[in-house]
Structure 1
Amino acid sequence: MPTPDRTSLAEIVEAGRSLLEQHGLDGLTMQAVAARVGVRAPSLYKRVAGRESLIALVAEATLRDLAEAAERASAAAGADPGARLGALARAVRDFAHRRPVAYGLVFSPGAEQRLDPDLLAQASAPVLRAAADLAGEERALDAARTFTAWANGFVGMELSGAFRLGGDVERAFEYGVEAMAAAVGGAGAAARS
């Protein structure tokens, strides 16, 4: 008679996400997850192939949450593409502040090797739509990449404490949102004329 399952893949991934935020990537171990869900580490291998698979599952769960937050923000912002880009930047920033280690995992070099390409496309869709509306279809990918790079760079610097010159970081972020939306829209208008 087989032994009953004492945990699910969803519980394992959620435990991994919690451990990641509390103890960083080094603290995300099979042993720590097993202890968190109340089983012995060998039991996890029924559900997860190993630590790298666990990290990939945690990264994908994070990206899925980020994609959902982006879709909600985009929908709530309405039809104006500049307002949608601003809402997307704010949603990403808010997410990064709530889950900074997971955010870093998703945006770290090499993360794309852990992430499902369809999920990456889903997460990118809201910014690509807003960028297309501002810059035109031909320049949408360029505009989305530029805006995403700015937002990710700003958030990364903020999370690492790199803004040391004083001043109002919130105001700087809003300035950047406005400037980037205007730049993307201006480049799109210039390309269409």
Structure 2
Amino acid sequence: MPTPEKTSVDEIVSAARDLLEQDGLAGLTMQAVAHRVGVRAPSLYKRVQSRDRLIQLVAEATLTELAARLDASASFALIADSYRAFSQERPAAFHLVMMPGAGVPVAGTEFGAAASAPLLALARELAGDDHALEAARTLTAWATGFISMELNGSFRLGGDVEDAWKFGLTRIVESIMVIPDRSPASNST
């Protein structure tokens, strides 16, 4: 009779995500994960082939969670606020998927595409089909930059960061909106 499995890939990834938040990417080792799930490190390799693969699985789980949160949002403000809330709850995971750094394993493109889908849909509404991708990238870049500065404590000049978030969000959305041509020539038939 085969020995029952002591852990699953889902448990391993969950433990790795917790370790990532607790100890950063450097602390995310196979030994630490094995200890967390109650197995010896060699047993872990039966489920996850390498640390790189583990990091990739963590990135994919992170984007899956983010996609579920963003998909439940109905407006760009709600999507942006969900994105920001996620970053505050899981700053190391946010950094892993948004700014992984050279040589750090990344999630498969399908995971990024799934997380981007709600934003792309709203960007299409705001900027039109021809500029949806550019609009989504602009919105993501602004929000990611703002959030990164916020997480790093870089807003040191005073003022209310929440007001700055709302101001920036409003202005960036306004700047990419396609405004229908209302000139007299366009109204004639």
Equivalent-residue separation in structure 2 for 1:141 and 1:112 (angstroms): 25
Go from structure 1 to structure 2 and tell me whether the alpha carbon gap of 1:36 and 1:118 turns closer, same or farther (over 3 Å shift): same
1:161 shift after superposition: 0.5
Tell me if 1:35 matches 2:35.
yes
Q: TM-score, normalised by structure 2?
A: 0.91
Structure 1 gap ranges (5+) = 75-83
Counterpart of 1:9, as a letter, is: V
Tell me if 1:25 matches 2:15.
no
Counterpart of 1:95, as a letter, is: F
Residues 7 and 37 of structure 1 are in contact (CA less than 8 Å); yes or no, is this contact kept in structure 2? yes
Residue number among 83, 96, 101 corresponding to 2:87 in the alignment: 96
4+ long deviations beyond 4 Å: 110-113, 190-193
Equivalent-residue separation in structure 2 for 1:37 and 1:178 (angstroms): 45
Structure 2 gap ranges (5+) = none
1:4 shift after superposition: 1.6
Counterpart of 2:89, as a letter, is: R
Residue number among 162, 169, 172 corresponding to 1:170 in the alignment: 162
Count of residues in Structure 1 that have an aligned counterpart in Structure 2: 182
Which of the two has higher C-alpha Rg? 2
1:119 shift after superposition: 1.5
> What's the % identity of the aligned pairs?
53
Equivalent-residue separation in structure 2 for 1:160 and 1:102 (angstroms): 14
Give matches, 1:30-109, under 5 Å: 30-74=30-74, 84-108=75-99, 109=101
Equivalent-residue separation in structure 1 for 2:18 and 2:63 (angstroms): 15
1:189 shift after superposition: 2.4
1:110 shift after superposition: 5.3
**SS of alignment partner, residue 5 of structure 2:** coil
Counterpart of 2:179, as a letter, is: A
Q: Deviations over 1:47-80 (max 9, x none)?
A: 1011000000011100110111100123xxxxxx
Residue number among 154, 161, 179 corresponding to 1:189 in the alignment: 179
Residues 19 and 27 of structure 1 are in contact (CA less than 8 Å); yes or no, is this contact kept in structure 2? yes
Equivalent-residue separation in structure 2 for 1:24 and 1:33 (angstroms): 13
1:157 corresponds in structure 2 to: 149
Residues 105 and 111 of structure 1 are in contact (CA less than 8 Å); yes or no, is this contact kept in structure 2? no
Q: TM-score, normalised by structure 1?
A: 0.89
1:136 corresponds in structure 2 to: 128
1:111 shift after superposition: 8.5
Residues 55 and 105 of structure 2 are in contact (CA less than 8 Å); yes or no, is this contact kept in structure 1? no
Residues 70 and 88 of structure 1 are in contact (CA less than 8 Å); yes or no, is this contact kept in structure 2? yes
1:79 corresponds in structure 2 to: none
1:116 shift after superposition: 1.5
1:80 corresponds in structure 2 to: none
Structure showing the higher helix proportion among its residues:
1
1:77 corresponds in structure 2 to: none
